Amino acid sequence: MNLLEKMNAEEFKKLLEYKEKYPTIGKDLIKALTDKTVVIHLTVDECINLSQALGFSWAGLFNQVFDAFKSKP
């Protein structure tokens, strides 16, 4: 079962609405969710776009990773 098939109805509806608003990104997200069966296989870009589509903040997920590569004074 792929990720799109595992997605619950409420989030799937949000994804379809997002695809209407942003067709290219939405199409790419649907392809990724169709091709992959495990969430960990999503790229960072796919996770960020998916979180935008579903309406939750991605910042907390990745800020600590990004901060690891910032120069410190």
- How far apart CA 28 and CA 24 sit, in angstroms, is 6
- How far apart CA 14 and CA 31 sit, in angstroms, is 16
Q: What are phi and psi of 20, to 5 degrees?
A: -65, -40
Answer whether 62's CB lies under 8 Å from 48's CB: yes
Task: Look at the chain and count its residues.
Answer: 73
pLDDT tens column, 22-69: 999 999 999 999 999 999 999 989 999 999 999 988 767 777 777 778
Q: Output the pLDDT for position 71.
A: 78
